[in-house]
Structure 1
Amino acid sequence: MDYKKLVDILKLEPHPEGGYFKETYRSEQTLALEGGEVRNVSTAIYYLLENKKKSSFHRIKSDELWFFHQGEPLEIVFIKNGELHTVLLGNSLENGEVPQLKIEANLWFGAKILGGNGYSLVSCTVAPGFDFLDFELADRDVLLQEYPSLKEVIEEFTH
C-alpha cells in the first residue's frame, strides 16, 4: 500500500518531529505529577514515517512504547548515559528486529526507515499520557555541546 493512502485512510496529520500521526486513545483517568501538573494516565497514537523522512531528536517526560505494524523496519536511535543506542523495530525477529520497544522518559531519540525507502507504520503509547507541554525538539548546538562524540548522528537527526 502507498503511504499516502495510509495517511488518508487513518486521517494522519503532520507531526512537529517529522512524519504523520493521529491520536487514537486518551484515557479519561488523570493523575497528578510531582510538579502538580495533571496528565491523562495513558495515550496512544498511530505514527508513520515515509522514505527518507526522519523523526528528529526529541524527548518527552514519560516512558513511550513503540509497536511495529507494517512496512519497512524502523531504525530508532537514542542517547542513554552519553552513548548512542540503535534498535530495529520490525517483524523480522530472525534479523534482530523487535516488534516493540520502550524509550525511557527524558531520553533524546529519533527514528528513520532502514534503507530510506517505503514507509513504516507504528503505534506509540505514552504513560503518563502525552502532552505537548512535555515535548522538546532537540537544539543541534546544545546537543553537540553535550555530546560532541555523537556529532554525525546529531547532525543527521536535527535541523
Structure 2
Amino acid sequence: VWHFYEGAALDLWMASPDWEQVSRHRLGPLDGEQRPAWTVPAGCWQAARSTGPYSLVGCTVGPGFDFLDFALAAEQPDAAAALGTRHPELTGLL
C-alpha cells in the first residue's frame, strides 16, 4: 500500500504481470483525481514519479511479502523488453 504524506502529487503506474494492462493513479491530498493511498496487488509491476520537486510517500507491505520475490524491471531483460514492446512510452520509468 502506497501512502502519500506531503509535497507534490505522485503518479503511480501499475502493470499486470504480462504488461497487457497498465493504469496510472495519482497519489496526493484527497480530491477528484487524487487519493492519499493506493494498493498494488501482488504480482503487478509498479513505477512512480513525482509531479513536482518532491513527494514524500511511504509503502507498507503485509505478511507474506518477501524481498526475495521483489524484482526491478530494469534488471529483468525479458520484463524490460516486454514493456518496451507493449508500452514504449513508459520505458523512461525503468
Tell me the TM-score normalised to structure 1 length: 0.51
Aligned-pair identity in percent equals 31
Distance 1:71 1:108 in 2: 24
**Structure 2 residues not aligned, in runs of 5+:** none
Distance 1:127 1:107 in 2: 15
Runs of 4 or more consecutive aligned structure 1 residues displaced over 2 Å after TM superposition: 129-132, 143-147
Larger radius of gyration: 1
Distance 1:150 1:70 in 2: 30
Higher relative contact order (CA 8 A, sep 6+): 2
Higher-strand-fraction structure = 1
Equivalent in 17, 22, 29 of residue 91 of structure 1: 29
**Structure 1 residues not aligned, in runs of 5+:** 1-64
Tell me the TM-score normalised to structure 2 length: 0.81
Count residues in correspondence.
Answer: 90
Root-mean-square deviation (CA, aligned residues, Å) is 1.9
CA displacement, residues 45-71 of structure 1 (integer Å, 9 cap, x when unaligned)? xxxxxxxxxxxxxxxxxxxx1111100
Higher-helix-fraction structure = 2
Which residue matches 2:41? 104
Which residue matches 2:86? 149
Q: 1:149 deviation in Å?
A: 2.0
